[in-house]
Each structure stands twice: as structure tokens, then as C-alpha cells.
Structure 1
Amino acid sequence: MYGGVAAVKELSLIVCRGEFLTILGPSGSGKTTALMLLAGFISPTNGDILVGGKSVASVPSYRRDQGIVFQSYALFPHLSVRRNLEFPLEMRGVKAAERADRVANLLARVHLDNFGDRMPSQLSGGQQQRVALARALIADPPVLLLDEPLGALDRNLREQMQSEIKTLHKEFGITTVCVTHDQEEALTLSDRIIVMRGGAIEQIDTPEGLYDRPKSLFVANFLGEANLLNGVIPLPNDATPTSMLSIIRPERIRLAVPHAPTLADAHQRQQANGVVTEVIYAGALRKYNVQVGNNVLIMREHVASDQQVFRPGDQVRLDWLRSDVRLVATETNNGVE
């Protein structure tokens, strides 16, 4: 509770052994509070937290056998890389010879063999992140907690570290819970994703399930972009305008000139005519905004050398497979609009 407001409510979930679970949500959704509960930095006002079948809700953080990686890395600035990694082992009473072996092996695993004597201030952001991951893994904890682990890195380095984290997770097989607001990061790393909103779980599913089968407009828009088709095409007979919305992802729409040849699967498609209002070139992708009546539909396509390029003001025909249209709820189960 914060000032009488429940930061997290009705949070009930099971994390499978060896799973990579990501908690995703906007600021104020409760995702960081959920991680702080798991880490033991705050205590739940109700309910329990079980790890391996044993309650840890009243166990302080320093006595929980878990690894934690913070966005700020939280390395000891006065200790060398090697000493940073040795510290958790010393606290567990591991003998010096075994500590040295485990530190050397893990430094090699994160490609920092020759950096053991350096201080954290002498490392790049990516190298510091590797040290933080190694320190969290070195004691072989049953649970690894990641708090916005890549938020301080630039895009290219972030993508490299996503690949590194995924490889390490596969190799160590450690149960991992990650908190992030980065949708791409969540989709890339996770076995399952929890989308939170207003302190409650909005939806839990695999990355493919969340993206392709969102249950609400909030999830659809938070995990990518979604075009509203209400007012463009009629809703199915079993849906009402007040309860369901019809959506489609931008990459599922095809653009063509108004009188382009009919496709062989035309009977499986829906179509609409519109006018291009904006074209955005983004390297590998080209994005179109198309005015269709009172609606603006977004369309994305991968850039290819032989494709037709439309310009603002061009008349176009949009079409998509009926099977790519999804119905989502206008309201969510936690009552937040």
C-alpha cells in the first residue's frame, strides 16, 4: 500500500522452473512493486510468496538465495571485477580455491577473461552489465530477478545484450523474472509475458499469444500498434459495438493501386479504399498512414527494391485476410479505462 492505494492487487501467478517470465507494463502499472515483493525489499500486506514450495514472504532480502540485476548495475565501485564476483561466494562461506575457479569460469563465459583486475569505472556500460549478470549467477541461485536490466544501454548494445541474456538463460536454465517497459525486449527474451495495468494482471500469455491474440485494446496497443476497424468494416454478428472492437495489425494490411488485379484468395479478404496521408521511411520498414473515411489506418511493410512506393495524396486500395482480424474487449477486467 502507498498512501492507502494498493500498488499491486489480485496478483496471483505461478512461475515454472527454468522459465523466463517478463512483467511488462507502463509507469505506475505495479510491475516494479511486483519485483520488489519477489526480491524481499517490501513485504506483502496480504497473501504469500513461495519459492520451491517454501514461504519467503517474511524472509528479508539478504537471506533469500536469489540473484538480482539492477538497471544501475549496483557494482561495488571500490572492488575489482574479480572481487565483485567473489563477494557473494564469500558471504556463503565458499573456500578461496573454489571461489577462484568459479570466478574464472564465469568471467570466461561472459567474455571478460582479461578484465578481472579492472575497476567498474574502467568498464563500458555493456561490460558492467556482463559483470552484474555474472555476479547474480555465480552463486547458482534458484531465481534470477532482472530490474530493467538493459535500460541504460544504447540500442545496438541493448540488442547484443538481449542475445547474451537469452543464451545465458538457456545455458544455466535458471528461473528468471524480468521487469521492463520495453516491448521488444519482452518479446525477444520471454517464454511468457505478464502485461500489468493499474496494479493488476491484464493478460498472461506467450509472446506470440499476446501479440497475435490480445484480449483488450490496451494490450493490443501496448504490445505494438493496432488499427481499429470499427466504422471501416462491419462487426461480426455475435459482437456488439459497445462490447467489442475489431482490430488488425499494421503489417497484415496490403496496399495496392485501386484497380490492381484481384488476388486468388479475394473471397477470404476484406478491403477498403483510402488516400495516403503520410509516408515514414525507417530503414528496413516503410510506414504508411492512410485516410479511410473518418479513420486513419497504419500500414507497415519491409522495404524491398522491387516494391511500389506510394506518396502522400495517392489513391490506394487496402486489403487484408479476414482471419487476421481480431476482436478485443473495450473494457478490461480490472475496470481501468
Structure 2
Amino acid sequence: MYGQVAAVEDLSLTVHRGEFLTILGPSGSGKTTALMLLAGFVAPTKGDILIAGKSVAAVPSYRRDQGIVFQSYALFPHLTVRRNLEFPLEMRGMKAADRTTRVDRILERVHLKEFSGRMPSQLSGGQQQRVALARALIADPPILLLDEPLGALDRNLREQMQGEIKSLHREFGKTTICVTHDQDEALTLSDRIVVMRAGRIEQSDSPEALYDRPATRFVANFLGEANILDNPGFAVDSDATQPSGTMAMIRPERICVAAPTAPKRVDADKRQFIAGIVSDMIYAGPLRKYQVRVGCTVLTVREHVASGQEIFRPGDNVRIDWLRSDVRFVAV
């Protein structure tokens, strides 16, 4: 509770040993509070937190045997890379020779051995992030907590570090809980994603299941782009019966666009075809995004750019189609 506001409410979550779980949500959804509860920086007003079956709700953070990586990295600015890594081992009373061996081993693993004598200010953002990860792992904690770990990096470096974090998780096998608002990051890294909204869990599932079968309109829109067919002005065909209280939804990349006279696909009997007019086209490198108006509805169509592809401009008449099996139904 923050005053009279419950930042997290009715949160019940089990994390499996060795799992990479990501808590995903917009600002104010309660995801960071959930991580701070796990880390021991915030005490629950009610309920309990169990690690390996034992309550830790009253255990201070420094006694929980967890590695933590913050968005700001939180490196000691007055210590070299090596000393930053040695510090947590010193606090545990490890002998100097053993500290040296362990620091050398993890510096080698994160490709920073030649930077061991540098200060954090002499490192790039990606190098600082690797030092922060190494420091969180060096004492061999069973649990690793990541708080928006890549938020301070530019896009290319962020994608590179996603691969590094995934590789470290496979190698060390730590139970990892990550908090982020970045959907691509969550989809790339996670074994399971928990989507939070207003302090509660909206849906929890594997990345593939969440993206392909979102339970609610909120999840569909938050995890990627979605065409919500709410009174679209045309009948939506589907292989499944629409449950009451739901809306039809289809992902933009599941829709194909073609000229009205183009030959239909071999699986045309499994598809729904609709005529439309292009209202906008956006070129984004490997992708081309169309906004296609169908009556009173505008649908987003996303296709991968390929050589020889026909390109449509605003005002062009087109035919769009999708597999009836690709239509999903989401709760309001």
C-alpha cells in the first residue's frame, strides 16, 4: 500500500526453479513494486513471500541471497571493475586467492578481462551492464532479479545485450525474474511472461501463447499490434464460435494485401477476402505497414519487404485476406 492506494493487489505467483520469468506492464501497473517486494526493499502489508518454501517476508534484502541488477547499474564509481566484482565476495568473507580466481573466471565469461582495471566512467553502457550482471552473478545466488536492465541502452546495444542475458541464463541456470515495459525484450528473453495491469495479473503464459492467444483486449494491444474488430461493419468469419462478451482480433502480420485482380492463394477456401482502400503506407526497413480502410474500419497490415513485391500507395484499391483460423477472440 502507498497511502490508500494498493500498488499490488491479490498477487499470487509461483516462479519455477531455473525459469526466466518477466513481469511486463505499463507505468503504474505494479510490476516494479512486485520486484521490490521480492527483493526485500518493500515490505508487504499483508500476505507472504516464500522462497524454497520458507517465508522471507520479514527477512531484510541483504539476507535473501539474491543477485540484483538495476537500470542505473548501481556500480561503485570509485572502484575499478575488478574491485566492483570483488566487493560482494569480500562481504561474504571469501579468501583473497579464491576471490581472484572467481573474478577472473567471470570477467572472462562477460568478455571484460582487459577492462578489469578501468573505472565505470571509462566504460560504455553495454560494458557497464555486463559488469552489473557479473556482479549480480559472482556470489552464485540462486535467484537473479533484473529491474529494467536494458532501459538505458540504445536499440542496437539493447538487442545485443538481450542475447548476452539469454546466454548467461542458459549457462548459469539461475531462477531469473525481470521487470520491463519493453514488449520485444519480454518476448525475446522469457520462458514465461506475466502481464500486469492496475496492480493485478491480467494474464500469465509463455511468450508464444500470450502473443498468439491473448485473453483480453488490453493484453492484445499491449503485447504487439492488434486489429480489434469491434463492430467493423462487415461479418468476421472464423473457424471458432465467438464467445459472448468478446471481440474478434487479428494480428497485422496475419493479413495479406494484394491487388484486386491478383490470383488468389491455393488455400483460398480457408480465407476471408475483403476489398479496401489504402489510406497510408509506412516503410520501416525490413517491414512495410499499410493502413487499409474497409468501410468504417481501418485495419493495419504488416508485411516483410521482399524483392519484386507490389507496393501500394494511399488511394489504391486493394484486396486483403486472412486465414479464418487466425482470428482470435479477446475479452473486453
Q: TM-score, normalised by structure 2?
A: 0.97
Question: Where has structure 1 moved over 3 Å in runs of 4 or more?
Answer: 234-240
Deviation per CA, 1:18-54, whole angstroms, max 9, x where unpaired? 0000000000000000000000000111111111111
Give the % identical residues. Answer: 73
Deviation per CA, 1:111-144, whole angstroms, max 9, x where unpaired? 0011111111111111100000000000000100
Instruction: Give the alignment of 1:134-283 within 5 angstroms.
Output: 134-230=134-230, 231=232, 232-234=234-236, 238-239=241-242, 243-283=245-285
Aligned residue for 1:139, secondary structure, equals coil
- Compute the displacement of 1:228 (Å): 1.9
Partner of 1:108: 108
- Compute the displacement of 1:272 (Å): 1.1
Partner of 1:73: 73
Q: Look up the equivalent residue of 1:34 and give its one-letter code.
A: A
Partner of 1:335: none
Partner of 1:316: 318
- Compute the displacement of 1:239 (Å): 3.4
Aligned residue for 2:22, secondary structure, equals strand
- Compute the displacement of 1:234 (Å): 3.7
Deviation per CA, 1:73-109, whole angstroms, max 9, x where unpaired? 0001111111100111111111111000000000010
Q: Partners of 2:265 and 2:22 in 1: how far apart?
A: 40
Does 223-232 or 111-120 show the bigger shift?
A: 223-232
Aligned residue for 1:263, secondary structure, equals coil
Q: Which runs of 5+ in 2 are unaligned?
A: none
Partner of 1:328: 330
- Compute the displacement of 1:294 (Å): 0.5
Q: Look up the equivalent residue of 1:68 and give its one-letter code.
A: I
The count of aligned residue pairs is 329
Aligned residue for 2:202, secondary structure, equals strand
Q: Partners of 1:37 and 1:235 in 2: how far apart?
A: 46
- Compute the displacement of 1:185 (Å): 0.3
Q: Partners of 1:172 and 1:109 in 2: how far apart?
A: 11
Instruction: Give the alignment of 1:42-61 within 5 angstroms.
Output: 42-61=42-61
Q: Partners of 1:53 and 1:238 in 2: how far apart?
A: 43
Q: Look up the equivalent residue of 2:160 and give its one-letter code.
A: Q
Q: Look up the equivalent residue of 1:106 and give its one-letter code.
A: I
Q: Which of 294, 297, 303 is the equivalent residue of 2:296?
A: 294
Partner of 2:8: 8
Aligned residue for 1:78, secondary structure, equals coil
Instruction: Give the alignment of 1:27-42 within 5 angstroms.
Output: 27-42=27-42
Partner of 1:334: none
CA RMSD of aligned residues (A): 1.2
- Checking the alignment, whether the CA contact within 8 Å between 1:235 and 1:246 is kept in structure 2 is no
- Checking the alignment, whether the CA contact within 8 Å between 1:276 and 1:288 is kept in structure 2 is yes
Aligned residue for 1:86, secondary structure, equals helix
- Checking the alignment, whether the CA contact within 8 Å between 2:237 and 2:272 is kept in structure 1 is no
Q: Partners of 1:220 and 1:23 in 2: how far apart?
A: 16
- Checking the alignment, whether the CA contact within 8 Å between 1:67 and 1:141 is kept in structure 2 is yes
- Checking the alignment, whether the CA contact within 8 Å between 2:237 and 2:324 is kept in structure 1 is no
Q: TM-score, normalised by structure 1?
A: 0.96
Q: Partners of 2:93 and 2:293 in 1: how far apart?
A: 67
Q: Partners of 1:43 and 1:305 in 2: how far apart?
A: 57
- Compute the displacement of 1:211 (Å): 0.2
